[in-house]
């Protein structure tokens, strides 16, 4: 069987209702879609977790060769039976009228008291496409990590965020040990590992 062209893969929305609306929203969708062997599927019904779209930035100091990571309590990790405090990149939800670049600059100040000087796009990803509509635009952000430390976040949003400066070699070791299980942070650090020499030469 010949490999299908993406242009031949088509889906049709049959129905959509809001199944739940609280702090987040869950939509119930009915679809039909083309089949790889030809023809069309039956109507399938799926609930989708909808929280908007996000942008994230891995703060990096190319002179000191350090990244800045943040750590905070995460309800999803708790419910999954994992340790509920996770090492992460700075991130936030893109509000109406905002660009991803504006979001990461704002969140860097709110979550880590950091000013981002330059941004390099890394990836635009969807972490759990089977169940969640959220996408995340990932950036590498140039910072001066010399004074990065402390506890930040918006009290009005229940945030309590620890900021930690980590030498890149230690961040890489954290990846190897499995200390980082946040998808955006893991992908961003792996991207930096692949492009680090190039970035340090570019940001001298």
- Write the DSSP symbol of residue 103: H
* Partners of 10 in the β-ladder: none
> Among the options 9, 157, 159, 170, which is catalytic?
157
Question: CA triplet 163, 97, 127: central angle to 5 degrees?
Answer: 55
Q: Which residues make Cβ contacts (< 8 Å) with residue 15, sequence separation at least 6?
A: 29, 30
CA 204 – CA 158 distance, rounded (Å): 38
Q: How many CB atoms lie within 10 A of CB 80?
A: 11
Does 157 qualify as catalytic in the annotation?
yes
**Which residues form the catalytic set?**
157
């Amino acid at each position: 069987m010949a490999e299908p062209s993406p242009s031949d893969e088509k889906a049709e929305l049959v129905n959509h209702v809001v199944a739940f609306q609280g702090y987040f929203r869950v939509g119930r969708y009915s679809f039909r879609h083309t089949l790889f062997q030809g023809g069309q599927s039956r109507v399938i019904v799926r609930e989708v977790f909808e929280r908007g779209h996000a942008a994230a930035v891995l703060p990096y100091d190319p002179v000191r060769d350090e990244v800045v990571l943040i750590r905070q309590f995460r309800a999803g990790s708790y419910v999954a039976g994992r340790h509920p405090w996770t090492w992460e990149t700075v991130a936030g939800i893109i509000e109406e009228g905002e660009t991803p670049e504006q979001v990461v600059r704002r969140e860097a100040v709110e979550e880590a008291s950091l000013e981002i000087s330059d941004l390099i796009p890394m990836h635009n990803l969807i972490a759990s496409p089977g169940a969640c509509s959220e996408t995340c635009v990932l950036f590498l952000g140039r910072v001066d990590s010399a004074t990065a430390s402390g506890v930040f976040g918006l009290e009005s949003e229940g945030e309590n965020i620890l900021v930690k400066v980590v030498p890149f070699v230690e961040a890489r070791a954290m990846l190897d040990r499995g200390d980082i299980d946040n998808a955006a942070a893991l992908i961003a650090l792996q991207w930096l590992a692949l492009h680090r020499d190039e970035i340090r030469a570019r940001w001298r």
